[in-house]
Amino acid sequence: MREEKVTISILKWLEKNDWKIISYDFPQSGTGILLHKNSFSRDQKNKGGIIPDVIAKKSNVVVYFENKDRYYQDDFTKIEDLKVKNEYTESLTKLLGSLSRLTIYYGIGIPALPSEIKKCLSSSNKIDFLISVRDNYSIEINYGAEIFN
């Protein structure tokens, strides 16, 4: 399953469950919102910028997705850095408004392949949730289900 199908399935599932989609991006499409590091200056162009695959909001909860077609350790490190370093708070505030009223959870979306899920779960200490998409495009929450209840 391609990353685009993972993203589309997650978007549909979120909307069905009353989440408001703030932004989304498909690989190589340029449709997403570029988040810059704090203290970004215009002469840096896009250096250090990231484009989340999906950002959605429900009440005071925000979910941030990186979606892939398989396990990539670098994405787990990227998510962990986002959570710990808070280097993108200025861009997130511009996008979401005051962050003090929000709880942001960071996670990964992948196809529901048992071997890939197992690899992802071995790095679950770096993320808040893991969601997988089955062949029939239904969603399985593999880790962090309480976020979506």
The position carrying tokens 């893991």 is 130
Its pTM stands at 0.90
Q: Residue 80's CB: how many other CB atoms inside 10 A?
A: 15
pLDDT tens digits along 64-79: 999 999 999 999 999 9
82-85, long-range: CB < 8 A, 24+ apart? 82/50, 82/106, 83/126, 83/128
The pLDDT value given to residue 40:
57
pLDDT at 44: 55
Segments in the chain below pLDDT 50? none
What pLDDT, on a 0 to 100 scale, did the predictor assign at position 116? Answer: 97
Closest to 80 in 3D by CA, of 46, 108, 38: 108
For residues 53 and 24, is the Cβ–Cβ distance under 8 A? yes
Specify burial of residue 137 (Cβ count, 10 A radius: 0-12, 13-18, 19+).
middle
Dist CA 108 CA 34 (whole Å): 18
User: Strand 129-133 relative to strand 20-24: parallel, antiparallel, unpaired?
Assistant: unpaired
Q: Does domain 3-37+48-148 have CATH number 3.40.630?
A: no
Cα–Cα distance measured from residue 1 to residue 21, given in angstroms and rounded to the nearest whole number: 22
